[in-house]
Chains A and B, each alone.
Chain A
Amino acid sequence: MDTNLPVTDLPRFEAQKPQKLAASYAVACVSVLSIALGFILGACFVVSLFATDLDLTPIKQHGMWGVPVLLGLYALVWLGAKCKAYAVREQDVSFYSGIVFRKVVVQPITRLQHIEVSRGAIERAFGLATLKMYSAGGALHSVAIPGLPVEEAEALRGHILDSRGLANEQ
Chain B
Amino acid sequence: MSNDWQRLSPWAIVFFAFRGLKHIANLYPAFIGVFITAQHFDLGWGAIALYTFYAFVVLVLGASLYYLNFFYIQQGDKFLIRSGILQKDRLELPFARIQNITVKEPFYFRPLGLVILNMDSAGSAQKEVGIAALSLAKAATIKDTIEQYNAARSSEAEMSDTTANTETDKVDPSTKTLLITRSNADIVLHGITHNRAWLLLAFMAPFFEQIQTLLFHVIEAIGFDFATWISNKSVFVITMLFIVSAFFVFFVMSLLSVLGSILSLYDFKLYAGKNVYQRNSGLLNKHEIQVKKSRVQALRYVQNWMDRIVGRLVLILEPFNASSGQPAASIMQKILVPSINDTEFDGLAKHVYPTFALQKDTFKPISKYYLVRKLYMVVLPLFAATAAVAIVSKQYELLVFTPLVFLLMPLFYCRWRRYGWMQCDDYLVVRSGFIGVEYFVFPRYKVQQVKVYQSIFLKRKKLASVQFVLASRAAFIPFMGEQDAHALANNTLYEVEVSGRSWM
Contact = CB atoms under 8 A, between A and B. Distances in A.
A62 interface: no
Interface string A1-35: 10101010011111000000000000000000000
A117 interface: no
Given A103-B454, A106-B451, 20 more contacts: A3-B498, A10-B494, A13-B450, A13-B486, A14-B452, A92-B497, A98-B455, A102-B454, A102-B456, A106-B449, A106-B452, A113-B124, A135-B448, A136-B320, A137-B324, A137-B471, A137-B474, A138-B324, A140-B324, A140-B325
B451 A104 contact: yes
A143 B449 CA distance: 10
Nearest to A112: B448
Interface in A118-170: 135-141, 143, 167, 170
30 contacts: A7-B487, A10-B491, A12-B490, A13-B489, A14-B452, A91-B498, A92-B493, A100-B456, A102-B454, A103-B451, A103-B454, A104-B451, A108-B497, A110-B500, A111-B447, A111-B449, A111-B503, A135-B449, A136-B324, A136-B448, A136-B503, A136-B504, A137-B324, A137-B448, A137-B449, A137-B469, A138-B324, A138-B469, A139-B325, A141-B474
Interface string A53-90: 00000000000000000000000000000000000000
A101 interface: yes
Contacts of A11: 490, 494
Interface of A: 1, 3, 5, 7, 10-14, 91-92, 98, 100-111, 113, 135-141, 143, 167, 170
Contact of A100 (B124, B455, B487): B455
Per DSSP, chain A at the interface is mixed
Interface of B: 124, 320, 324-325, 447-457, 459, 469-471, 474, 486-487, 489-491, 493-494, 496-500, 503-504
A1 B489 CA distance: 20
Contacts of A98: 455
Contacts of A109: 497
A170 B500 contact: yes
B449 A14 contact: no
Nearest to A109: B497
Nearest to A90: B497
Given A1-B498, A111-B449, A139-B325, A10 B456 contact: no
Contacts of B498: 1, 3, 91
A105 B471 contact: no
A10 to B, nearest CB: 5
A141 B449 contact: yes
Contacts of B486: 12-14
Contacts of B450: 13, 105-106
Closest 5 CB pairs of A and B: A138-B324, A91-B497, A137-B448, A137-B469, A136-B471
A95 to B, nearest CB: 10
The secondary structure that dominates the B interface is mixed
Nearest to A1: B498
B453 A141 contact: no
A103 B452 CA distance: 6
A44 B346 CA distance: 64
Contacts of B455: 98, 100-102
A110 B497 contact: yes
Contacts of A137: 324, 448-449, 469-471, 474
A141 B498 CA distance: 22
Contacts of A106: 449-452, 489, 493
Nearest to A111: B448
A170 B503 CA distance: 15
Nearest to B321: A138
Nearest to B451: A105
A108 B324 contact: no
Contact of A108 (B449, B474, B504): B449
A7 B491 contact: yes
A159 to B, nearest CB: 15
Contacts of B471: 136-138
Contacts of B469: 135, 137-138, 141
